[in-house]
Copies of this chain bind each other. A is one copy, B any other.
Amino acid sequence: MTKKLRVAIAGASGYAGAELVRLAAAHPVYEITAVTSEKSSGQKVAAVFPSLAGLVSHTFEALAPEALAERADAIFLALPHTKSQDPVALCRKAGKLVVDLSADYRLKDVKAYEQWYQAPHAHPKMLNDAVYGLPELHRDAIAKAQLVASPGCYPTAAILQLAPLFAKGLVQPGTVVIDAKSGISGAGRSPALPYHFPEAHESLEPYKIGQHRHIPEIEQELSGVLTKSGAAAGAVTIAFTPHLVPMNRGILSTAYCKLNKPMSLPDLRALYRDFYNGERFVRLHEDSAPNPRYIKGSNYCDIGVYADQRAGWVVTVAAVDNLVKGAAGQAIQAMNLMMGIAEETGLTAPGVYP
């Protein structure tokens, strides 16, 4: 039997953190040694999250990165953006494997980071050490990495649904529109008026139109895929509008683009099947459409490809659970790779339907 890996989870009183605890507690190779939260420090995890009663006996503690690093071989950090820079650096200095769920190490271009997040970066040199934690695109690099920057929830869907087209250099520049819809848990666990039940229910609203911080991540990664394709290198620019939808979990991302050469629907679908051949967590829909209802609680990204030949658009649709493949599950998937164990370990539960 594999020796247990000591795992610490920092910033665990939010929804992504709670999901990390849920998945890590049931993980056959992990042993959770510490769970931190500033807000809930001193409280039992099971008192804050009664869904976990009977499963974990830990108490939230305040975050002290160096001390934490002594008690863990691998550390997940689910802290707010800009608050993860130093803890990551300290955990790395202590030689630990780190998966950071914040945006702090996702962008390679420190200027882009400082512009989109309106904050300086204290460790710009570490940005090159960090691997963007999307296993379907960066599996080998993740397996060799010590620091992984786990993708945002919207980018996971958007990149996976468009990567096959960019990888073949098929996308006509300037035609990409991504219209994304998220359940409210994507907004976090801190109450505020837009997420107050009577405001968010029977409600549907776009926000941060063309200004969401996930945009540079999506553009960086699609550009990288494009560059690898050998096709016209150069920046990818997208229109991106996120919406809040009255459901708890799930993202549905509908992406539109024009191709620079005509392709039939069967050829398009064959291209996706090839690209994702062997991928454990990507499922392609043909007779049905991706829908968050099929992936709740699971690590799948479901993708559908459609062609509007009449109007000349390719439409791709992707669904992920924002807290699993869009956060905690993907982080564990990367950590499994970093540890050298089977990528899907602890992540094989199917969605809870209905």
A191 is an interface residue with CB less than 8 A from chain B: yes
Which residues of B lie under 8 Å from residue A302 when comparing CB positions?
Answer: 50
* Minimum C-beta distance from A299 to chain B (A): 11
Q: A177-B256, A291-B204 are in contact. Are A354 and B185 (CB under 8 A)?
A: yes
Q: A198-B248, A312-B174 are in contact. Are A52 and B350 (CB under 8 A)?
A: yes
> How far apart are the CA atoms of A91 and B350 in the complex, in Å?
30
Residue tally, chain A, CB below 8 Å to B: 93
Per-position 1/0 for A267-296, Cβ under 8 A of B: 000000000000010010101111111111
Residue from the list B22, B189, B254, B350 in contact with A51, Cβ < 8 A: B350
Contact check, A239 vs B313: say whether CB atoms are below 8 A apart.
yes
* Minimum C-beta distance from A217 to chain B (A): 15
Contact check, B181 vs A197: say whether CB atoms are below 8 A apart.
no
- Tell me the number of copies of this protein: 4
* Minimum C-beta distance from A48 to chain B (A): 10
> How far apart are the CA atoms of A174 and B172 in the complex, in Å?
13
Residue from the list B202, B288, B310, B353 in contact with A210, Cβ < 8 A: B310
Which residues of B lie under 8 Å from residue A288 when comparing CB positions?
Answer: 47, 50
* Minimum C-beta distance from A23 to chain B (A): 10
Of listed A26, A198, A249, A285, residue having the most chain B CB within 10 A: A198
> How far apart are the CA atoms of A168 and B234 in the complex, in Å?
33
What are the 5 tightest A-B residue pairs by CB atom distance, in nearest-first order?
A210-B308, A198-B354, A179-B179, A191-B191, A51-B353
| Subset of 20 A-B contacts with CB under 8 Å | A25-B350, A55-B348, A181-B243, A184-B197, A189-B198, A190-B196, A191-B196, A195-B197, A201-B247, A202-B292, A204-B250, A206-B252, A209-B308, A210-B307, A239-B313, A241-B256, A241-B315, A245-B246, A256-B256, A297-B297
**A residues lining the B interface (CB < 8 Å):** 15, 18, 22, 25-26, 47, 49-55, 174-175, 177, 179, 181, 183-185, 189-193, 195-207, 209-211, 237-241, 243, 245-250, 252, 254, 256, 258, 280, 283, 285, 287-298, 300, 302, 306-313, 315, 317, 319, 348-354
